């Protein structure tokens, strides 16, 4: 059969031809791409010429290009618009990709060439980026087990294969639990909810009638606004039970096996535990540095949360309920308090935070800072909800940006940025990226505008900050392009970009009422911004608790029962009883769907130390759009990817790396 994945892509800007791709096309294309990559790597390893940077490292950088083309498109779709067929393919691809990685790492002739170049690095006359790529390539092979032999090498390959299968299964179990549950709402249940939430519930239920699902964009507002305590409890318990409902979608055994295999892998590589292996290459460097950060944040956050809990419990009792404040009560009474103290609620704010206007706002901020322009284009995309834009500067094409913003049962939860093609200049080409932002905002009734909460709008800006890191990348080698940086540095551009959502000039221009077109009143804007740090004790506790549990899971021996160990850790740190972890173990996809944030969930807070300080650089000029500061940010952070050490890049931009005080000030938790 004709397979469009194996043909030249005659599409706008080389986008995947999604309008022609069928499920049966993916597997033959994947097998062909792996075969092409393997042939290219075999040729590198068998090259009779002495190893050089060009014939070994640069050639290796380009060898996986066919795989990047096919799998970049596949995983974009499989994460955002899955189906049973695509999930079956994911299960097939996990061991295939793991076997390919093990073959590459175990190719002794290939590693001997890399090792020879590494030993001779002082004599090679390499440029700075080439030297960095050589170091990273050598380090990647060593850390993956290239120096292991015999039974140890075989065991490492087995561990890698098993972890890839477990991560895929964890994700699919979570998606199924989220898709299978809904809470029907009667007209009486809807009566006290804001119109935007009623509309979203009707859209989620379709012909079945209004429902609450387990997407954050629906369940969190329901917990904020529903006065029915029994319904709140039902929704909250279903939401926090994802991945631990028993049966074939239960993730508890997967988490336990994953932690055990990670520990074994680290020990095979000469480390005491997984955290010491993982953190070796991050900015933090070791578990103790992470622990110090987390506990410096935890102490004031817990104190603030406990003080708030006393207030909310009094409100609960005033409503005629006995007993202590429960986790399904917190958001309801916090929202009531916010309305009382700041005279705002989401029902008042959402009409001013239209999705389309917030998209325009993100592009406008990027234009004012970095001079980029965006125009919407017609292109084949994987779902009708997606929108594509060409991004350019001074008439020069920079990237294609794709936004996929609405929740649906086929999409995994959360929000993320990924690429279907990375920026690079290998082989004398100027390859520009295809960047994708995915969110899970509630879809409105047909013909109605999509309205966001302030947190939703912040998420949109956050993911667009990641996209800028990809779109403004300006390096030669793909392995150091865009967000290919230390995990505790990768959140800096995204969290920094969030700050511009709070700039009054941006809100005055784009926070326009959905019905009247009137700008947000200044008094309402002032109250909204004044409330930006409202309930930060809660937000910081649920996030920091997740980071502490993640770290301790990976320090020392792996727990046989992660749920029991989770409970012990939370007891040790004095977790407030009415707050739960933002991500409990059975649905902690950051940590168990793959290795990316394992022993690394702290990185959001580590990056926040820098993003609070980085925005101060703009404040100090008196202009949040100061072009010279933006130029330095692009020159030293956004364009450089992983071409240098993260700490050096930040210090070039700002002069020094900040401490935790900047984070605490930004959250309103400083003493």
- Region 258-278 average pLDDT: 98
Assess whether the region 4-144 and the region 351-492+512-518 belong to the same CATH fold: no
Does the annotation mark 542 as catalytic?
A: no
pTM value?
0.94
CB-CB contact of 110 with 172 (8 Å) = no
* Identified catalytic residue from 65, 263, 463, 634: 463
Work out whether strand 396-406 and strand 211-212 pair parallel, antiparallel, or are unpaired.
unpaired
- Residue pLDDT, tens place only, 461-510: 999 999 999 999 999 999 999 999 999 999 999 999 999 999 999 999 99
Domain 351-492+512-518 = CATH 1.10.1370.40:
yes
Q: Which residues pair with 295 in a beta bridge?
A: none
The structural architecture, per CATH, of the domain 276-329+338-342+534-666 is Orthogonal Bundle (1.10)
The alpha-carbon radius of gyration of the chain (Å, integer) is 25
Q: Could you say which of 1.10.10, 1.20.1050, 3.40.50, 1.20.1180 is the CATH number of the domain covering 4-144? A: 1.20.1050
- Residue pLDDT, tens place only, 552-599: 999 999 999 999 999 999 999 999 999 999 999 999 999 999 999 999
CA distance 314 to 113: 69
Per-residue pLDDT for 532 more than 90? Answer: no
CB-CB contact of 287 with 276 (8 Å) = yes
- Residue pLDDT, tens place only, 41-55: 999 999 999 999 999
- Residue pLDDT, tens place only, 193-232: 998 899 999 999 999 999 999 999 899 999 999 999 999 9
Give CA separation, 161 vs 56, 92, 251, 255, in Å.
Answer: 26, 11, 18, 16
Look at residue 1 in the predicted model and tell me its pLDDT. Answer: 64
Per-residue pLDDT for 79 more than 90? Answer: yes
Task: Using pLDDT thresholds of 50, 70 and 90, give the confidence band for residue 354.
Answer: very high
Look at residue 658 in the predicted model and tell me its pLDDT. Answer: 85
Residue ranges of the domains in the chain? 4-144, 181-249, 276-329+338-342+534-666, 351-492+512-518
Non-local (6+) Cβ contacts of 559 within 8 A are 256, 259, 553, 565
- Region 617-621 average pLDDT: 96
Look at residue 307 in the predicted model and tell me its pLDDT. Answer: 97
- 3-state helix/strand/coil string of 302-346: HHHHHHHHHHHHHHHHHCCCCCCCCHHHHHHHHHHHHHHHHCCCH
Q: What is the mean pLDDT of the chain?
A: 96
Task: Using pLDDT thresholds of 50, 70 and 90, give the confidence band for residue 66.
Answer: very high
């Amino acid at each position: 059969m004709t397979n469009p994945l194996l043909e030249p892509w005659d599409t706008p800007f080389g986008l995947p031809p999604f309008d022609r791709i069928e499920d049966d096309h993916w597997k033959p294309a994947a097998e062909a791409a792996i075969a092409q990559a393997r042939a290219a790597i075999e040729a590198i390893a068998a090259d009779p010429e002495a190893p050089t940077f060009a014939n070994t490292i640069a050639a290796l950088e380009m060898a996986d290009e066919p795989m990047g083309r096919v799998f970049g498109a596949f995983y974009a779709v499989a994460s955002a618009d899955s189906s049973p067929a695509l999930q079956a393919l994911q299960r097939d691809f996990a061991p295939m990709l793991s076997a390919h990685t093990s073959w590459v790492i175990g190719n002794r002739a290939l590693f001997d060439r890399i090792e020879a170049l590494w030993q001779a690095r002082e004599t090679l006359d390499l440029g700075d980026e080439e030297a960095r790529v050589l170091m990273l390539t050598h380090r990647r092979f060593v850390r993956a087990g290239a120096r292991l032999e015999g039974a140890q090498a075989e065991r490492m390959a087995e561990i890698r294969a098993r972890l890839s299968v477990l991560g895929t299964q964890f994700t699919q179990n979570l998606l199924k639990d989220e898709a299978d549950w809904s809470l029907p709402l009667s007209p009486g249940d809807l009566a006290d909810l804001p119109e935007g939430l009623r509309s979203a519930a009707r859209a989620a239920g379709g012909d079945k009638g209004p429902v609450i699902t387990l997407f954050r964009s629906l369940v969190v507002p329901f917990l904020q606004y529903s006065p029915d305590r029994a319904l709140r409890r039902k929704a909250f318990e279903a939401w926090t039970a994802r991945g631990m409902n028993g049966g074939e979608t239960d993730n508890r055994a997967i988490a336990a096996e994953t932690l055990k295999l990670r520990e074994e892998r680290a020990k095979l590589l000469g480390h005491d535990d997984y955290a010491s292996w993982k953190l070796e290459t991050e900015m933090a460097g070791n578990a103790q540095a992470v622990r110090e950060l987390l506990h410096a944040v935890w102490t004031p956050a817990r104190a603030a949360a406990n003080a708030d809990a006393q207030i909310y419990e009094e409100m609960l009792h005033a409503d005629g309920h006995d007993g202590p404040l429960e986790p399904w009560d917190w958001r309801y009474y916090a929202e009531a308090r916010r309305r009382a103290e700041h005279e705002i609620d989401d029902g008042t704010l959402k009409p001013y935070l239209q999705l389309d206007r917030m998209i325009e706002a993100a592009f406008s901020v990027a234009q004012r800072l970095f001079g980029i322009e965006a125009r919407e284009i017609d292109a084949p995309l994987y779902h009708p909800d997606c929108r594509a834009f060409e991004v350019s500067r001074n008439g020069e094409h920079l990237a294609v940006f794709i936004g996929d913003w609405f929740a649906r049962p086929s999409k995994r939860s959360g929000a993320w940025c990924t690429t279907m093609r990375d920026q690079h200049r290998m082989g004398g080409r100027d390859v520009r990226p295809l960047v994708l932002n995915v969110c899970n905002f509630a879809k409105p009734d047909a013909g109605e505008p999509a309205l966001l909460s302030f947190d939703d709008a912040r998420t949109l800006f956050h993911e667009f900050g990641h996209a800028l890191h990809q779109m403004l990348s300006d390096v030669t080698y793909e392995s150091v392009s865009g967000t290919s940086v230390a995990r505790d540095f990768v959140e800096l551009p995204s969290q920094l970009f969030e700050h511009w959502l709070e700039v009054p000039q941006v809100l005055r221009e784009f926070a326009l009422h959905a019905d009247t077109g009137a700008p947000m009143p200044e008094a309402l804007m002032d109250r909204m911004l004044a409330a930006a740090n409202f309930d930060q004790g809660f937000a910081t506790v649920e996030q920091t608790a997740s980071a502490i549990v993640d770290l301790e899971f990976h320090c020392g021996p792996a727990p046989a029962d992660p749920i029991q160990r989770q409970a012990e850790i939370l007891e040790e740190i004095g977790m407030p009883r009415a707050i739960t972890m933002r991500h409990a173990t059975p649905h902690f996809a950051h940590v168990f769907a793959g290795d990316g944030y394992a022993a690394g969930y702290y990185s959001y807070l580590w990056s926040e130390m820098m993003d609070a300080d980085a925005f101060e650089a703009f404040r100090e000029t008196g202009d949040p759009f100061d072009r010279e500061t933006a130029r330095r940010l692009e020159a030293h952070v956004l364009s450089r990817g992983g071409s240098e050490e993260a700490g050096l890049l930040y210090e070039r931009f700002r002069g020094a790396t900040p401490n935790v005080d900047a984070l605490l000030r930004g959250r309103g938790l400083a003493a």
